[in-house]
Chains A and B, each alone.
Chain A
Amino acid sequence: MTTLVDTARKPSLFRAELTKLVTLRSVWITAALTWLIVVLVGWSQASPVGEALRTNDPGLAPGASPETVGFDWVALGLIGIIVIGVISASSEYVSGQLRTSLVAAPNRERLYVAKCTALTVFVTLLGLVTIPLLSLLSQSGLGEISVVNGTVPASLVLRWVGAIAFWDAIALIGFALGILLKQTLIPLFALIVVSQLSLMLLLLTPAFAYLPTVAGVLLFDPGLVTASYPAADLGTLTAAIVTFTWTAGLVGFAGFRFSTRDARG
């Protein structure tokens, strides 16, 4: 007779955490809205922005170029990414969910790594179906000045990679803050405010270029920052190190707290 143990499969915390993410209605609705809004706005703006670029319209955003057209909408999608990151953490602190998670996976370090990995995979996939599409739709409005002429230049692909990495980093930072504060509202509010005001903060001092929400933008569209704030030009390598350091630092600290504190959630 076959027993339940005979039919056992390989345990996978990663799969479990991915299932948790996609079965939360708030997460997939946010993901769908992020995709829809970014793509729709990018598509609707493709022709007017293309026309403005062709005619050197003075009303065009500073630093706009044919290759970076559409990338300013990555920041619009960032709000959705912050929501996904924060909710993926704070949902554990609702209805005794954390107790269930820790009873199923008592090795907290492994559970935490699985959570981070699942979130990164989810946001990367969302980025892959959003950012290249946004960029290509925006290029379609440029006509003869489009940088996509049969082939996609490697420099544009690198910008896509940078933008997706930026989304991943901010989602993980939102996740880390959600774990540290064990709630949704404060980390959500703080991150959205910082992300939307960070360029304005550069008016006070270029030191704000070291915020992840500014350094991350330098990974894919430096002109968006440096055209107005030349002193904020950190260079791609430094920007990548700054973004990584913020992300790794906050994720690491939150992981330490997650694995050592009592699970009162």
Chain B
Amino acid sequence: MIEIKSLSKKYGQSDGIIDVSLTAEPGKVTAFLGPNGAGKSTTFRLLLGLDRADSGSALIEGKPYRDLIAPLWTVGAQFDGSGAHKGRTAKAHLTWLAQSNGIPHSRIGEVLELVGLSDAARKRVGAYSLGMGQRLGIAAALLGDPRIIVLDEPTNGLDPEGIRWIRGLLRTLASNGKTVLISSHLINEVQHVADHIVVISGGRIVQSGNVDDLVAGHHDLEAAYFDWTGNAAKGSAA
């Protein structure tokens, strides 16, 4: 379970996020939807203890991320790309990650196979395509078989086959009882995979709820999305 309450963060003169609250529950895919620069990655950075919030709280199973010991057993996270140094091989990258959290070495081969990178395990990450880097980031997130998965724009750089694969993976993870939180700016993608949607625009949450409930009264999710974010833009301009 992820609980974010009234989270705010400013970076210098930029707005960052303001009073963001959301909950992601086990067994569901929760999608954080918003345009580029809306505050999705900032929220994830605060959730994972990478930056400090100005106010509010972000808890994972009741604890701030920084209080987790060997966190990869609880949370698997991936930001845009592989998150690996370009000079290392995928295997070396996953090896140090496994060592840092006491994850058995045998798991490395399993996750590489799961994301379809077994044949490229000894290739340097610098030689990877965008999609391969994305798959490596997902492999790292799944390394500790965690109960909670947080993926930032997981379909970025994936080809149609890869997008289909990630959809299947996210649904499987949720059906296995895991808490899945993803961010995306792709409306159609979210509609295909999410149970619950939280829409952010201009650093503020503008809508949240189950997909079917949110779409009711609109032509489709895309129409609803532009309705909400358009209204938010007008509101902040007023």
Contact = CB atoms under 8 A, between A and B. Distances in A.
Contact of B96 (A8, A19, A94): A19
Nearest to B95: A19
A264 B51 CA distance: 8
B93 to A, nearest CB: 8
Given A102-B50, A103-B77, A95 B96 contact: no
Interface string B45-86: 100111110000000000001111111110101011111111
A237 interface: no
A185 interface: no
B209 interface: no
A118 B2 CA distance: 34
Contacts of A57: none
Given A15-B99, A17-B96, A95-B125, A103 B71 contact: yes
Contacts of A48: none
A19 B91 CA distance: 11
B202 to A, nearest CB: 21
B144 A4 contact: yes
A11 B84 contact: no
B103 interface: yes
Nearest to A6: B104
B83 A99 contact: yes
Given A102-B49, A103-B71, A106-B65, A8 B102 contact: yes
Nearest to A91: B85
B22 interface: no
B48 A24 contact: no
Interface size class of chain A, counting residues whose CB lies under 8 Å from the partner chain: 20 to 34
A107 B101 CA distance: 12
Q: Which of B52, B72, B87, B124: most chain A Cβ within 10 A?
A: B87
B42 to A, nearest CB: 10
Contact of B50 (A5, A11, A15, A99): A99
A26 B87 contact: yes
B199 to A, nearest CB: 25
A13 interface: yes
Contacts of B80: 96
Contact of A106 (B68, B87, B145): B68
A5 B73 contact: yes
Nearest to B141: A103
A9 B102 contact: yes
A262 B81 CA distance: 20
B140 interface: yes
B107 interface: yes
Nearest to A87: B87
A137 B81 CA distance: 49
A96 to B, nearest CB: 5
Interface in A15-48: 15-17, 19-20, 23-26
A107 B85 CA distance: 21
B99 A103 contact: no
Given A95-B125, A99-B83, A104-B71, A19 B99 contact: yes
Nearest to B145: A4
B100 A12 contact: yes
Interface in B131-162: 140, 144-145
A110 to B, nearest CB: 10
B65 A95 contact: no
Contacts of A91: 85, 87
B224 interface: no
A105 interface: yes
A7 B106 CA distance: 10
A73 B107 CA distance: 45
Given A12-B99, A106-B49, A263-B51, A7 B81 contact: no
Interface of B: 45, 48-52, 65-73, 75, 77, 79-89, 92-93, 95-97, 99-104, 106-107, 124-125, 140, 144-145
Interface of A: 4-5, 7-13, 15-17, 19-20, 23-26, 91, 94-97, 99-100, 102-107, 262-264
Given A11-B99, A96-B84, A262-B51, 20 more contacts: A4-B104, A4-B145, A7-B104, A9-B104, A10-B102, A16-B99, A20-B88, A24-B85, A24-B88, A25-B87, A26-B87, A91-B87, A99-B83, A100-B84, A102-B48, A103-B48, A103-B75, A103-B83, A104-B101, A107-B69
The 6 closest A-B pairs by CB, nearest first: A16-B100, A23-B92, A11-B102, A100-B83, A262-B51, A16-B99
